[in-house]
Amino acid sequence: MTGAGTTSSGRRRLGLVGFFGWGNFGDELFLSVHRQFLSEQFEISVLHDLLEKPYYSGQVADAVAAVDAIVIGGGDLIIPWQQSELYWKPEYLERPVFLTGIGVPRWGGYSKDVVDAMRAFVQHPNVRFISTRDAPSQEWIVKHLEPNVAVHTGADMVCALDVPPVERSEERVLGVVTRKRKNEGDDLFWLERLCEKAARLDYRIDHLVLGVGRVGEADEAVHGDLRIPGKKLVRSDDLDELCRAIGRCHGLASMKFHGTVVAAMYGVPSIVLSATDKNRNFMGMIDRPELLSGLGDAHLPDRFSPYMAAIPRHSRTWLRDSATAAMERLRASLLEAVPAPPALARA
């Protein structure tokens, strides 16, 4: 086992902890954002090497010993009613730990034992940095976990991603994003009515599979549940191509949060089909509550219109600037805690 220290490239080693490798669209984009902002100074790797419990083929302590610092995030990783066996291992606290882009979902309740354990983790002196994806998550962490470091907030980190450019064709396109959910089948009746309305208005329907790897396979397997004649299925294991597929749309209806986030960064209005905490908070940031809906909303077809306003440039600029500032703050904090070795610093 090689210990922590300078790599052959002169960069320090950074271990990432999050929902990485399964192929969920947003989480894989988090990896891209980390690389965009941190790869110049750090050699980046995902700390776990298995996609099933116990998530590590060897000892967790050995994986931790091989890096100089650990970044946990982003996403809804602080869950008040359950504690993941992946994200909050005590071994991580042997290195400086940085929590970034964290969200706190509220829909599942509150467990005192879980919150007490999370409080003990974030109050450890090796937790050097905390940032959240929205103000309600920031407020919850401050109130319930009482960390010893400041809690910063900014827009979701994917808003800082350099998304690939696209050109929209004259043909109008409505993108639709569904997903495979555990132990439940979704009633897509009202979503189908929305798609039928769009088709009558001469929109092409692109059914986007926003996942790669095993998540993409699971989402593709249920695409037939959305019964829309003539729809185009869009499936790729290339994250840039999935982003471009969103950017080519003139409107989106999405069950996935990061479908909506990426759409916003292209200026594409996205009707939210799952009004979770993170979706509500994000739509509040850009003042577009009329786009919040759900699969069971009988008025869902009415929310679609050829005249839906695009996400304005000033909103997109604010989102990008906010997320970029959060990532730059993370980078500065990492460089302060894990300075370059003397020989590199003199170069």
Q: Confidence band (pLDDT; 50, 70, 90) for 113?
A: very high
Laid out side by side, the sheet with 97-102 consists of 42-46, 12-17, 69-72, 97-102, 127-132, 151-153
Q: Where are the domains of the chain?
A: 12-161+320-346, 173-305
CA–CA distance, 300 with 277 (Å, rounded to integer): 19
Is the pLDDT at 23 greater than 80? The verdict is yes
Give the pLDDT confidence of 126-138 residue by residue, as tens digits: 999 999 999 999 9
Q: Confidence band (pLDDT; 50, 70, 90) for 2?
A: very low
Q: Do 12-161+320-346 and 173-305 share a fold?
A: yes
Q: Which contacts of 193-197 are long-range, i.e. CB under 8 A and separated by 24 or more positions?
A: 193/300, 193/301, 194/253, 194/271, 194/300, 194/301, 194/303, 194/304, 195/226, 195/228, 195/231, 195/253, 196/228, 196/301, 197/301, 197/304
CATH class of the domain defined by 12-161+320-346: alpha beta
Give the pLDDT confidence of 173-219 residue by residue, as tens digits: 999 999 998 766 789 999 999 999 999 999 999 999 999 999 999 99
DSSP 284: H
Beta strands in the chain (DSSP E): 12-17, 42-46, 69-72, 97-102, 127-132, 151-153, 173-177, 204-208, 232-234, 251-254, 270-272
By three-state DSSP, how is residue 21 classified?
coil
By three-state DSSP, how is residue 211 classified?
strand
Residues 6+ apart with CB under 8 A from 304: 174, 194, 197, 198, 251, 253, 271
Q: Which of 345, 278, 292 is nearest to 106 (CA)?
A: 278
What type of residue sits at position 241?
E
pLDDT at site 184? 67
What value does the mean pLDDT take over residues 285-291? 96
% of the chain at pLDDT higher than 70: 94
What value does the mean pLDDT take over residues 160-183? 93
Dihedral (Cα; 284, 289, 294, 299), 10-degree rounding: 180
CA–CA distance, 273 with 18 (Å, rounded to integer): 25
CATH topology of domain 173-305: Rossmann fold (3.40.50)
**Model pTM score:** 0.94
Give the pLDDT confidence of 36-91 residue by residue, as tens digits: 999 999 999 999 999 999 999 999 999 999 999 999 999 999 999 999 999 999 99
What value does the mean pLDDT take over residues 316-326? 98
CA–CA distance, 141 with 132 (Å, rounded to integer): 9
pLDDT at site 6? 54
% of the chain at pLDDT higher than 90: 92
Q: Which two tokens stand for residue 133?
A: 């994806």
Q: Residue 186 in contact with residue 295, Cβ under 8 Å?
A: yes
